């Protein structure tokens, strides 16, 4: 009986090791990713990407959003970007989309669990719960509000195009 238990445990351990070894190298790419176009400027574009596996390929959904800085009444207005979809394949440990002439790669950086988007040189963080996105959005709102406070709208005198009024000449 003792030998039977040992055999069962060893079989289960072997099965677990085999299944763990079967994981796909591309699994680390799957999920939601978020990053800021310019980490030194919280008002820059926020990139959101969702990567899903579709057979041997991957579907990448990308959205680029930000606050409208040029809103005339200076009210925060979030501009949700349009979602763009592309297909990618795993090549040499990177996700690659496009063709030989124009391609974009996504490189997983294991040491800090980030994703490098080669088209813009943007580092994205894993964001399956949208916490990073919400934090970046709040930072952008605070930075934009501060900018507007430091740079108020100056009411300028209207432009006068009529030369008779502009130069005080009388019409003849």
**pLDDT tens digit sequence for 126-139:** 999 999 999 999 99
Of residues 52 and 156, more confidence is placed in 52
Digit-coded pLDDT (tens) for 82-115: 999 999 999 999 999 987 778 899 999 999 999 9
Assigned domain for 43 exists:
yes
Per the structure, the complete domain to which residue 30 belongs is given by: 22-151
Alpha-carbon dihedral 118, 120, 124, 130, rounded to 10 degrees: -130
Assigned domain for 163 exists:
no
Beta 78-79 vs 94-98: how paired, if at all?
unpaired
Assigned domain for 113 exists:
yes
DSSP string, 80-137: PPPPEEEEEEEETTEEEEE-SSSEEEEEEEGGGTEEEETTTTEEEEE-TTSHHHHHHH
Assigned domain for 71 exists:
yes
Q: Are 51 and 42 in contact (CB under 8 A)?
A: no
Assigned domain for 7 exists:
no
What is the pTM for the complete model shown?
0.75
Number of domains into which the chain is organized:
1
Q: With CA atoms as reference, report the closest residue to 138 among 8, 21, 43, 14.
A: 43
Assigned domain for 9 exists:
no
CATH number of the domain that residue 143 is part of = 2.40.128
- Alpha carbon distance 112, 159 (integer Å): 55
Assigned domain for 11 exists:
no
Assigned domain for 79 exists:
yes
Digit-coded pLDDT (tens) for 56-86: 999 999 999 999 988 888 899 999 999 999 9
């Amino acid at each position: 009986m003792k030998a039977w238990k040992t055999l069962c445990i060893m079989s289960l351990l072997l099965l677990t090791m085999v299944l763990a070894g079967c994981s796909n190298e591309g699994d680390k790419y799957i999920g939601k990713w978020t990053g800021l176009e310019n980490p030194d400027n919280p008002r820059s574009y926020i990139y959101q990407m969702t990567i899903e596996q579709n057979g041997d390929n991957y579907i990448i959904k990308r959205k680029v959003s930000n606050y409208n800085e040029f809103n005339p009444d200076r009210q925060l207005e979030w501009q949700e970007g349009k979602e763009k979809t592309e297909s990618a394949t795993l090549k040499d440990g990177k996700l690659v989309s496009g063709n030989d002439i124009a391609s974009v790669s996504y490189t997983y950086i294991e040491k800090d669990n980030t994703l490098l988007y080669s088209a813009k040189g943007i580092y994205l963080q894993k964001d399956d719960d949208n916490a990073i996105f919400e934090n970046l959005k709040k930072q952008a709102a605070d930075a934009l509000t501060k900018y507007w406070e430091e740079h108020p709208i100056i009411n300028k005198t209207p432009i006068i195009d009529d030369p008779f009024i502009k130069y005080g000449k009388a019409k003849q």
